Amino acid sequence: MARCYMMASMSTVLQAQHEDYITARQIMDNLEDMFGSQAAEKCREVLSNLINCRQKAGSSVKEHMLKVMAYLTDAQSNGADIDAESQLIMIFETLLKEYILFRATINLSTKQNITMIELM
């Protein structure tokens, strides 16, 4: 049944390529081979964009944050597993130097919270 649903949802070109496959698992494995490397490449591309992203002088923090959040979301949807602390670090690295005091405050607050949790 799963194989039938998969075949029905494919383009005619993909259907022709998979008509000899008997099980849904075989189809899934082949699709992963075909498109899995594309997701990994897309993930690398998005992470590269994120690493190279810098807020421009005079630009809106809101717009910049939306752009960075979109990169993070795109990276995660393509297989990247980025924990919350790493996300914060990546975000702070993209901000202008004007926000260095803000970064220090957040870092100090985060460290204090971690210490408080460890003490409990």
* Tens-digit pLDDT profile for residues 20-74: 999 999 988 888 887 767 777 888 888 888 889 999 988 888 999 899 999 999 8
Of the ranges 7-11, 35-39, 112-116, which is most confident?
A: 7-11
Is pLDDT at 109 greater than 70 in this prediction? no
- DSSP letter string, 100-111: HHHHHHHHHHHH
Q: For position 117, what pLDDT does the model report?
A: 44
Confidence tier at 113 by pLDDT (50, 70, 90): low
CA distance 34 to 39: 10
Distances (CA, A) of 4 to 21, 27, 39, 100, 120: 11, 11, 25, 56, 54
User: Which residue type, as a one-letter code, is found at position 109?
Assistant: S
Predicted model pTM = 0.57
pLDDT over 60 (residue 116):
no
Secondary structure class of 2 (helix, strand, coil): helix
